Structure 1
């Protein structure tokens, strides 16, 4: 039996049956002119569906808010043309026997004024603050925040209507949902601000409202991270108790699965408690909530993508490490990003023991693939 066999065991959550434990992580590519995914986008996902990827999570696709996008070539998740394009993507993936989720996205204050398909609108944010806590807009009213929640909920409902197998909310990496989580950017005094648990209510309400509309069995995934693109060292939860308070909001709201983004999957989340070989972010999340957990972070490659652009070096961790952690039950699914971006047959090569054909690339080489 192959050492990598645990990656290819089936897994079911919320009634969704996956052929294996490999998830394609969402990766922005900006290949959808005017926000419309075309045949090339359908082909891109179908190739990976045909090559042993258990679940495909699409690149971020933006909700029906004028400020949700910073790039006219990022796909939208509203409008007849964009939704027709996404319906075709779903059909092509399903023809290959694959399963697919859209990643529902709003870029928040990552959008600079004058950018995106609606350059004249101001950017959405929790409190009108930049990632460096500089005030630039008036704090949105509670009613304005509720309208953004509705746009996210509409996206999840649309995912089900289009035939997507599940949907993921992007709540990581310094984009809008994550901005609500982060005390630097969320200084609200209503129900969406205050403690970490209170700051989680924005995402909690998205999940709860969507759950009412899509029913108890449609899988909803939430992607979260401690780190931000603006601050690699940022932490939302400094202790397991804080993490429990945070995650319980989503569990109580009805989330099906949590996608825990780390820059490097092998780094322990709380080494002061369980040591340098302790549970990673996904491991602690599963331990606390009992919910299915996806781990991600430089799986299958030696370098950290963002760190490579910042001139950081990264120690290598062999693929067998994440497989051993999976086999022990630390988490349930393994998301693979750049390795699948550069090679649609990556999963098949692992499955067939063709490790000698797997390649690593540095950040500069990966960038040429966009």
Structure 2
């Protein structure tokens, strides 16, 4: 069978073996509070490569220590972290997949507990927490009010994104993704709900998008013409007067002009009270809207759970790739299973598993 989902796609000079990819998913497992990847991350990310994914994006990886979502988040703000990522990258490559790192700064949503911890809100120093910052002194519901970043501090954040992108390239990653979604720092600048600045980083759409566009442009300059750059956007805040699809499409166009290659389209995260119509594929129309209105390459994410569903999204042209999270957590071999269900013969089935192909009959 001919499958759109299992058709390679090339961005810049990098060819991905299929369009079924693993998005960034926080693991909160840097147990020494030092941002260092460890064996958990090797096995977690490596299993998806072995399982046939075309590309894998690491969890949100902080560009500065105070940019971590939790004290247990990964980082790539120093060279030791860069070097610790290399064995993970090498293993993923040995399985034929590509791997990218999601560069992140959590802003006012930093310094929080892991999702399974009993407490909530902003952690204090005794809990390995730290003071938080943001574009404006507007708190996320239930969290501490952030200190407003100065212009030099914003410029330093951009510097940190660029330096982390260079380290990512040095570590062997195939791409970087800037996290401008889910209510984290770049999204906080984009949304009028969290940005009431009156300087060059506030007010107009162009000003609110400045930190994103400057980061993309400078990363392109620093990493050269062949290194793919993705941006993850929340296409809507799901709140009246907030960030919306039209603004996302416009900023995606600007980001593409600055050097970005693909836009990973999610939604929400800026307001705890947002009413989000969660359901199967509920964010796919957002990816389609940004793709069509922005005339850009997009990835769809959000409760994509089956092979036929993923195939239809790509074959219909609603998105160029699909990011599947929870289903890959349930089954790291989801890509191999999806290929079998779609009738696609793959050349990259692990030889070590040849006695257990998906198509093998169950012995009587």
Give per-residue Cα distances to partners, 1:95-144, cap 9 Å, x unaligned.
1121100111111111225269963x421211122125999355321111
Aligned residue for 2:303, secondary structure, equals coil
Q: Please say which of residues 132-141 and 159-168 is displaced more in the overlay.
A: 132-141
Aligned residue for 2:67, secondary structure, equals coil
Give per-residue Cα distances to partners, 1:54-83, cap 9 Å, x unaligned.
00011111112x311142321111234422
Q: Classify 1:232/1:7 alpha carbon distance in 2 versus 1 (closer, same or farther; 3 Å).
A: farther
Q: Classify 1:129/1:116 alpha carbon distance in 2 versus 1 (closer, same or farther; 3 Å).
A: farther
Supply the RMSD in Å over aligned alpha carbons: 2.6
> Offset at 1:13?
1.1
Q: Distance in 2 between matches of 1:48 and 1:256?
A: 23
Unpaired runs of 5+ residues, structure 2, are 111-121, 268-277, 344-364
Equivalent positions of 1:107-256 (< 5 A) are 107-111=106-110, 112-114=122-124, 119=129, 121-132=130-141, 136-227=145-236, 235-237=242-244, 240=246, 242-256=247-261
Among candidates 327, 332, 337, match of residue 349 of structure 1: 337
Equivalent positions of 1:310-349 (< 5 A) are 319-349=307-337
Q: Distance in 2 between matches of 1:70 and 1:134?
A: 12
Give per-residue Cα distances to partners, 1:29-57, cap 9 Å, x unaligned.
11222221112311221121111100001
Q: Distance in 2 between matches of 1:259 and 1:210?
A: 18
TM-score of the pair, normalised by structure 2: 0.80
Unpaired runs of 5+ residues, structure 1, are 269-278, 301-317, 356-370
Q: Distance in 2 between matches of 1:133 and 1:191?
A: 29
> Offset at 1:208?
0.8
Q: Classify 1:16/1:117 alpha carbon distance in 2 versus 1 (closer, same or farther; 3 Å).
A: farther
Q: Classify 1:105/1:244 alpha carbon distance in 2 versus 1 (closer, same or farther; 3 Å).
A: closer
CA contact (8 A) 1:61 1:76 kept: yes
Q: Classify 1:115/1:332 alpha carbon distance in 2 versus 1 (closer, same or farther; 3 Å).
A: farther
Number of aligned residues = 320
TM-score of the pair, normalised by structure 1: 0.79
2:114 corresponds to which residue?
A: none
Aligned residue for 2:213, secondary structure, equals helix
Q: Classify 1:146/1:334 alpha carbon distance in 2 versus 1 (closer, same or farther; 3 Å).
A: same
CA contact (8 A) 1:187 1:194 kept: yes
Q: Classify 1:115/1:299 alpha carbon distance in 2 versus 1 (closer, same or farther; 3 Å).
A: farther
Aligned residue for 2:145, secondary structure, equals coil
1:23 corresponds to which residue?
A: 21
1:105 corresponds to which residue?
A: 104
CA contact (8 A) 1:129 1:185 kept: yes
> Offset at 1:328?
2.3
